Structure 1
Amino acid sequence: MEITTTYAIETLGTIAFAISGSFAAMQRRLDPFGVLIIAFVTSIGGGTVRDLLLGDTPVAWMRDVNYCLLILITSLLTIFFKTHIKKFKVTLFLFDSLGLGLFTLVGVQKGIVFGLSPGICVALGTITGCFGGIIRDTLLNTIPLIFRKEIYATACILGGVLYFALVYFNVEADLAKVLVIAFIFTLRIVVVKYKLALPKFGY
């Protein structure tokens, strides 16, 4: 059940970030190949950095070609249905938030499998959730969300801490995963809706 649940979460995260990347690319009016590239790096960027840090090579998407096929199919469907979805910005935000929650949990779980401390597991979760978006925004010549005042990486960190708190209090594993994903997703929506932010420094 553990493997099935984890694989399902990673699959959903891949789909969510592929859609997020596709919409971000279409906002910048990239051609279909450009959309595919942005969708790909958004989906696999964080996981690739995580696996390289862990020395878990070849990285996940190289070992399982289904991830590449999933990104390709998702991107093509997103391009095809783009005319039916008017609010690109809202769609991008929702799928980016969902992918953030899903991939944060995947990163935390990967750290646990490698027997790492909770703090390092939370860091790996944050990397997995955020780095695909960083690469996406950099390629699109946009300041990545993680470097702006919006609460983004903080949501990953809080979600990771929540997961270990739930495990400590003996919450059933699958329920704990769902709660963490829902927490990160909801926190992102609340933060944006009410314009909550960390202090911004600079001149």
Structure 2
Amino acid sequence: MSPWFEHFAVAVCAISGVLAATGQRLDLFGVLVLALVTSVGGGTIRDLCLGVRPVFWVQDPSHIVTATLAALGTFVVARYWKMPHKALLIADAFGLALFTIVGVEKSLVYQSSGLIAIMLGVVTGVAGGMLRDVLRREVPMVFKPDIYFYATAAFAGAVVYVLLVRFAPAFTGGREISMAVILVLRLAAMGWKWRLPEFRVRG
């Protein structure tokens, strides 16, 4: 797994964390907390489940530097340019795709089964955003029916990656194809309002 790939994922998730602070009346410290939680939260839970010690950002603090710089840059830009709400959803979709595949790939490196790798990939992709939304005192995005194919998209991309690794190990484009599956599903679902059936009890 290339170091730049995980750094890119951290930066994108940090940007989505800053954008999520819009309208929350947070100061710079609060915005940075949201950005850091979003960018390292999922990976931290993944590493704890895998028994990796220390977790990735403690082992390599440059991830914190990357997240902080991305957050500061977004904070400055957002003060002079109004960020549309869709920017948060698009940034979050990229973060979801990147971190899901990072999570699957790292889980496989640590000899996890395909099923566990898929589960931890989804956790890596969605947990940071869940922690961010809890801190904002909102229902996590992943639980909202009107968010459209969030964890579902991550699951689909994780399954594709595991299948490609298992059945086409010589193929070198598995990572990119799997991320594309997540992005296309997520963005298409946002555009056409695809979602899973809601749980309802007959009255």
1:198 aligns with 2:196: yes
Q: Structure 1 residues 85, 179: closer, same or farther in 2, change over 3 A? A: farther
Q: Which residue of 1 aligns with 2:121?
A: 125
Give the fraction of aligned pairs with identical amino acids, expressed as a percent. 39
> For residues 173 and 138 of structure 1, what CA distance do their matches in structure 2 show?
39
| Contact 2:161 2:175 survives alignment (8 Å) | yes
Q: Which residue of 1 aligns with 2:164?
A: 166
Q: Give the structure-1-normalised TM-score.
A: 0.92
Task: Tell me the CA shift for residue 10 of structure 1.
Answer: 0.8
Q: Give the structure-2-normalised TM-score.
A: 0.92
1:47-196 equivalent positions in 2, closer than 5 A? 47-149=43-145, 150-170=148-168, 172-196=170-194
> For residues 181 and 107 of structure 2, what CA distance do their matches in structure 1 show?
20
The alignment yields a C-alpha RMSD, in angstroms, of 1.5
> For residues 70 and 189 of structure 1, what CA distance do their matches in structure 2 show?
26
C-alpha distance after superposition, 1:76-133 (max 9, x if no partner): 1001111454333111111100010000001101111111110110001000000000
| Contact 1:103 1:125 survives alignment (8 Å) | yes
Task: Please tell me the residue identity of whatever aligns with 1:65.
Answer: P
> For residues 114 and 130 of structure 1, what CA distance do their matches in structure 2 show?
20
> For residues 143 and 45 of structure 1, what CA distance do their matches in structure 2 show?
17
Moved more, 75-84 or 11-20: 75-84
Task: Tell me the CA shift for residue 172 of structure 1.
Answer: 4.9
> For residues 75 and 120 of structure 1, what CA distance do their matches in structure 2 show?
31
User: How many pairs does the alignment contain?
Assistant: 199
| Contact 1:26 1:35 survives alignment (8 Å) | no
Q: Structure 1 residues 147, 87: closer, same or farther in 2, change over 3 A? A: same
Q: Which residue of 1 aligns with 2:24?
A: 28
